[in-house]
Structure 1
Amino acid sequence: MLLAALEQRFTDGLLPPLEPQAIIHPNGFVKLPLARTAGGDARLFLHVWQRDSVDADAHDHRWAFASAVLRGELSHTSMDVTVTPGSTGRGGGGGGDGDLADAFAVARYQPQVGKHYFDVSRREKAVVDRRRTHVFSAGRRYGMEASAFHRAHALAGAMTFVARGLPQRPYARVLLDDETSMPVMKPWRRLGAVERQQYLRDALEALG
């Protein structure tokens, strides 16, 4: 029923997802693959945040994506970032919006089977010049390019439908305080069939 509702929005047709197994992402949300477009240029997911959560580190993605908030509320703090090669160190400044100048180490995150791999060997530096926070409630839509750095904050129970494009490079980038402060990534937990069905029912209810 959920796929039938989505097919009304994707007239080119949908195919089963490449990775059908639903998982709980280390950042605290359920990631449930739904389908892929027949042309192969997009993959569709349902994200459900199980608790109030904030991304530990600012990051970009390997792909561009578009998202629609089905339930609840989340926010994204987007950042104007300049990445340059060279040694890194933490600059001045603090949190919040406005014109800030913070320097961070850049780790390239490249997922590998069974583990999370972060590479800082290039000693890249990122300077964050500006931050802007946007809040999205149910019914709102937003999108981001692959190179857009951001941090997400979601309220418990928030639900989003995500359409993800093709990878534009083999890695994503993560901003670290320094080269020794690697993120601690928890294992991905597979979602049971009963839980998966309940999330799908919740999504159908949110879609109306």
Structure 2
Amino acid sequence: MSKRVSAKHKLDRRMGENIWGRPKSPVNKREYGPGQHGQRRKGKLSDFGVQLRAKQKLKGYYASIGEKQFYAIYVEAARLKGDTGANLIGLLERRLDAVVYRAKFVPTVFAARQFVSHGHVKVNGRRVNVPSYQVKVGDVIEVKDASKQMALVMEAAASGERDVPDYLEVDGHKLTAKFARVPELNEVPYPVVMEPNLVVEYYSR
């Protein structure tokens, strides 16, 4: 097992939730946390602890974005007009790796980051290899012709684990996706409850 997968599974158990909604999550077998003290009864979290947990869960969901990068996304969300929490979700869902994952081009968001980094994706006909690239409304994202027969891509296309959300217009045969609109929080198909308002509280302390 790679270090990345191990850390991913550990996050599931630390949160006590199946964050990505995958059948192989260890939470499905063991609800207690990882490590030798994982089965100890947990005390009630402070307000700070609740906010920190919400931040870790949201940050971890998007392939464990680094703290510096995640904070930069929060700062941009706060700068935009409207609700900061809603803006935060909108910016996260506009990441190219998130769009590739939502479109079911690959099976996991971790695979999406690597898939984009390795140059398998084009935006409006131009190759983009930056996972954090911000997709705009109307952009067309596609898998390169040479990459369409990869086992990873075929596995994701055949999977019935999740559905494509309404804010993407996906052609599963051509492996193209149009980013139709920036979603609201209740439109994003998170397997668990995400609380961006608590993330905003955490950073605005």
The alignment's TM-score, normalised by the length of structure 1, stands at 0.24
Bigger relative CO (Cα 8 Å, ≥ 6 apart): 1
The structure richer in strand per residue is 1
